[in-house]
Structure 1
Amino acid sequence: MELSRRICLVRLWLLLLSFLLGFSAGSAIHWTEQEGKEIWDYVTVRKDAHMFWWLYYATNPCKNFSELPLVMWLQGGPGGSSTGFGNFEEIGPLDTQLNPRNTTWLQWASLLFVDNPVGTGFSYVNTTDAYAKDLNTVASDMMVLLKSFFDCHEEFQTVPFYIFSESYGGKMAAGISLELYKAIQEGTIKCNFSGVALGDSWISLGHSVLSWGPYLYSMSLLDNQGLAEVSDIAEQVLNAVNKGFYKEATQLWAKAEMIIEKNTDGVNFYNILTKSTPESAMESSLEFIWSPLESGWPQTRRAPPTSASGALGLKVRLCQRHVRHLQGDALSQLMNGPIKKKLKIIPEDISWGAQSSYVFISMEGDFMKPAIDIVDKLLAAGVNVTVYNGQLDLIVDTMGQESWLQKLKWPQLSKFNQLKWKALYTDPKSSETSAFVKTYENLAFYWILKAGHMVPSDQGEMALKMMRMVTEQE
């Protein structure tokens, strides 16, 4: 048994080494492509709208990829790149320095990274009319891509297929999952859809905003006066959402963030134990490219400063905070340098992340629309739904997630609530708790300790363990 384990470990490191060498020599890159360990392509999902995907076949040394699940990862933003951030910063085989990642999910699943909505990452549009403006379009586009993928790669049609997501990717994952379920029932897409995982997800930001004040106050990051200010603007946000004034709610959301930033001395919305990057540094390093496709929008390489007045200034500020952190300088240089050269199919005039600001702003009217009803429909259809959240996240804090969960009309919710959670440990020899979990029928909730918004980045071992539990491998 011990010999078998050692052989598996040696094979695993050899496989990881082959990935690493694939970036250092052209012949090695072709070798991995010929071996079928990685494939990638574009799918034209609509006229002038082209979506990029990148697949890694599972590298478990003891099992064939067909014995393991296929996981599709969806990033947030909207405008965050799965093939970039999710791949190199969170769960892919290599990090941004092209070093092997010990906690890569590739050990236990094939990984499909998709740059969505169109315009994200290496995905691109030829005209601004092609940007998605709502969740329905996002889901519809993904149906075109998934149909193309499973039709062309029949070896994955019977493999358990899971969608994992993060942040706004969670809202997109919910909408995509419901449309995928329908497509499978109608027979238009052939795949073994087995569940969706919503990580720190944007299901109902109204509930999150309402909980920001109490959460920060309980963590000694707001005083009484600050709590009152945050609570007041939060009520305005929720009122606008309840009335269906979603664009107004988006602007109020931006103001709420500014009030919190002022009262907390710049708390980081993605991990409350750290501070946000100073605005001056953000502005100086900002690399968003405001495309000249749209008349009336800035046509310089830099976005307007955060002090810009009016609705556009608020949008830019939101865009900087919620997309910029997914496009760090090191990652941008990697994606537009060695990775673009490796992939070979990226059009010469397309830069990774260059259209992301448009993706974000085009979805403005969709930001604050709750998607609780979609989760209800998934549960009613029998789809396995997992919700997981980082303890230190603010933008989509756990209190807010628990709050919208209680709004579900799922008949089994009361029984779910009656259950006691179970402690989880990444190290069986340690008494340190890594997470808690509660599961009833087709709903599961994971409380991930010591993690912020990006759970796999902050707590890689626990994220890997969770993925294995969700995909029934542990």
Structure 2
Amino acid sequence: MAKSRGRAESTSLRTLPALPAPPDDALLPPLFICGFRPSRRLRTLFSGCRGVCIILVAAATNVKAKMTGIVFICLSRGNELFCVFLVGNVWLSGLNLMVVKTAYSGPEGTVGAMWKALFLLVLLALSPGADGLFRSLYRKAHVSRPRKGDPGQRLFLTPYIESGKLTKGRQLSLVPPFPGWNLTSYSGYITVNKTYNSNIFFWFFPAKVEPENAPVVLWLQGGPGGSSMFGLFVEHGPYIVSKNMTLFARDFPWTTTFSMLYVDNPVGTGFSFTDHVHGYAIDEDDVAQNLYSALIQFFELFSDYRDNDFYVTGESYAGKYVPAIAHYIHTLNPVTTMKINLKGIALGDAYSDPKSIIEGYPSFLFQIGLLDEQEKKYFQKQCNDCVKFIHQEKWLQAFELLDRLLDGGLISEPSYFQNVTGCSNYYNLLLCTEPEDQSYFGKFLSLPHVRQAIHVGNQTFSDGAKVEKYLREDTVKSVKPWLTEIMNNYKVLIYNGQLDVVVAASLTERSLMAMDWKGSQKYKKAEKKVWKILKSDLEVAGYVRQVDNFCQVIVRGGGHILPYDQPLRSFDMINRFIFGRGWDPY
């Protein structure tokens, strides 16, 4: 008898028996496999199947429902039917509840075909997540778990904080100096959700100059899912990692004048981790809540820094994190016993208001020569569609369209931007690819003696794929209302690198012009000031527009990763802003 060809047909969910819910008290592994003998109703569903049949039950894309993809693989052997179902945390974009039934041709009872299909689905479930708009920046810094040597154990500090053993906790969190260094720092884990065992990793460097009085500066990386170890080793921390894993001193580290707190945020980023899918943030409220818990515990452990001025800083996608946590602190400070001495925020190349940035892309990319007239028309059409999706609150469709246009992380081919420019790097107009030395720190953090020193043990370093997966609906949402309230009440610095493409200075100004805050009218009339570091300088460091406690700065010669491109100018900028030194040359 001739065998039928494989085909797909839709089937109503009502034909399926009730499914057992995945366990709610533990993180599902990448794949959970269970065999069972199907009910009569399920056998009826497969009555026309010969060989291997696969049913895919695709959960709704509303991540708030915490739904999980379920895959059935069923083997037909004559009148017998044996099914295997797989429960996995699968990202199923653009699907609502539906069932797809596929019959694969092959002889009856083909066990090999079933296991082949099973193997392919395992590979699918285990495949890494794609890179999003800003997370691609961190993909080359691969951090692996050491196969040899002793990486030590993870240090969880919350038990010491809760039991009042603060001195003991601080002593344990002290990082032994690396060879040739005499630098004090502290690191460890703070538990922010016991139900899901969600833990945030921090690395804290007291200021080199007057640490007892120096402002405490929190640094948050972008992504979503970018580790702040990137900021520490690549941008403004005390260390620079060479290709041969030697540590060099940075010329202008921010740790000179500020006590720098580097945090892997949100939960699931870098060395931060959770044991449950519900532990991942799905919006900026979740991000702020977890981070606030970590900060409160941090200032309990390091109580002598509690009264110091506190600033929240970050770049790129942290343009959402920074206003979120600042607004959370602003809201809770009046009603809680434990106050955080928030004085202001600093945002670099901030992706705070995606819609205004997306609307400005076509003209900007055309003006700097990356698009021609025809390409601009196509880009304009796609950006218009993306903005339309945002207005309709179709967040995933907007995110996916933007990805196809710029990054290409969700597709198997280069993005439109990559095709028409020939470049994968949109962080610096003068570079087509990311500099190699920006990834050296990954190998350094893989060394067992380093892991032992910073108290992370053999913890897997996450590339941020899961963090991004759960935050995708958040990606194109704006935090402008929160940022507006912060601008009305605190010092705010918003800065851009002159050579940034993906969040260019003109796109940031486009957003600022549309904001309604108490200084908005004065800002629109404010004159731009030329900024030089020294009176004797021939080179201009950048341009400043200041209104009361708000400063907008454009730094010449720098891109998206500004402190990497322009370390001295970045150092001078952040010091002038925080210490209120003005913008006149020294």
TM-score bracket for this pair, using the shorter chain length:
0.7 to 0.9
Choose between structure 1 and 2 for higher RCO, CA contacts under 8 A separated by at least 6 residues. 1
Of 28, 31, 42 in structure 1, the residue corresponding to residue 189 of structure 2 is 42
Tell whether the 8 Å contact from 1:203 to 1:371 is kept in structure 2 after alignment.
yes
2:356 is matched with which residue?
A: 207
Of 16, 20, 24 in structure 1, the residue corresponding to residue 179 of structure 2 is 24
Counterparts of 1:292-311 in structure 2 under 5 Å?
A: none
Q: Write the deviation string for residues 162-209 of structure 1: whole angstroms up to 9, x where unpaired.
A: 111111112100100000112222234323211001111111122222
Tell whether the 8 Å contact from 1:85 to 1:327 is kept in structure 2 after alignment.
no
2:462 maps to 1:331: no
Q: Write the deviation string for residues 51-103 of structure 1: whole angstroms up to 9, x where unpaired.
A: 0111101112xxx2122211110000011111x10101011111123100011
- The structure that is helix-richer by fraction is 1
Q: Write the deviation string for residues 362-394 of structure 1: whole angstroms up to 9, x where unpaired.
A: 1101000011111112123x1222111111111
Of 262, 272, 281 in structure 1, the residue corresponding to residue 429 of structure 2 is 272
Go from structure 1 to structure 2 and tell me whether the alpha carbon gap of 1:102 and 1:131 turns closer, same or farther (over 3 Å shift): same
1:358 is matched with which residue?
A: 466
2:360 maps to 1:253: no
1:448 is matched with which residue?
A: 555
Distance 1:232 1:343 in 2: 52
* Aligned-residue offset at 1:341: 3.0
Tell whether the 8 Å contact from 1:147 to 1:188 is kept in structure 2 after alignment.
no
Q: Tell me which structure has the larger Cα radius of gyration.
A: 2
Report the number of matched residues.
394
Q: Write the deviation string for residues 452-471 of structure 1: whole angstroms up to 9, x where unpaired.
A: 11111111111101110111
Distance 2:200 2:340 in 1: 20
In structure 2, stretches of 5+ residues that fail to align are: 1-173, 407-414, 582-586
Counterparts of 1:406-445 in structure 2 under 5 Å?
A: 406-445=513-552
Of 238, 244, 255 in structure 2, the residue corresponding to residue 93 of structure 1 is 238
Instruction: State the 4+ residue runs in structure 1 displaced beyond 6 angstroms.
Output: none
Please tell me the residue identity of whatever aligns with 1:372. Answer: K
1:314 is matched with which residue?
A: none
Q: Aligned-residue CA RMSD in angstroms?
A: 2.2
In structure 1, the residue corresponding to 2:515 is in which secondary structure?
Answer: coil
Go from structure 1 to structure 2 and tell me whether the alpha carbon gap of 1:196 and 1:337 turns closer, same or farther (over 3 Å shift): same
2:568 maps to 1:461: yes
Distance 1:249 1:377 in 2: 27
2:355 maps to 1:198: no
1:383 is matched with which residue?
A: 490
Distance 1:147 1:194 in 2: 16
In structure 1, the residue corresponding to 2:546 is in which secondary structure?
Answer: strand
Tell whether the 8 Å contact from 1:120 to 1:355 is kept in structure 2 after alignment.
yes
* Aligned-residue offset at 1:427: 4.1
Q: Write the deviation string for residues 103-142 of structure 1: whole angstroms up to 9, x where unpaired.
A: 1011111100000001111111112221111100000001
* Aligned-residue offset at 1:425: 1.6
In structure 2, the residue corresponding to 1:336 is in which secondary structure?
Answer: coil
Go from structure 1 to structure 2 and tell me whether the alpha carbon gap of 1:188 and 1:237 turns closer, same or farther (over 3 Å shift): farther
Tell whether the 8 Å contact from 1:74 to 1:170 is kept in structure 2 after alignment.
no
Distance 1:151 1:22 in 2: 24
Tell whether the 8 Å contact from 1:161 to 1:194 is kept in structure 2 after alignment.
yes
2:371 is matched with which residue?
A: 222
Go from structure 1 to structure 2 and tell me whether the alpha carbon gap of 1:412 and 1:186 turns closer, same or farther (over 3 Å shift): same
Distance 2:373 2:550 in 1: 37
Please tell me the residue identity of whatever aligns with 1:168. Answer: Y
Distance 1:423 1:21 in 2: 44
In structure 2, the residue corresponding to 1:44 is in which secondary structure?
Answer: strand
* Aligned-residue offset at 1:329: 4.5
Distance 1:344 1:218 in 2: 46
- The structure that is strand-richer by fraction is 2
2:281 is matched with which residue?
A: 132
Please tell me the residue identity of whatever aligns with 1:91. Answer: H
The TM-score normalised by the length of structure 1 is: 0.79
Tell whether the 8 Å contact from 1:55 to 1:113 is kept in structure 2 after alignment.
yes
Counterparts of 1:82-231 in structure 2 under 5 Å?
A: 82=228, 84-97=229-242, 98-231=247-380
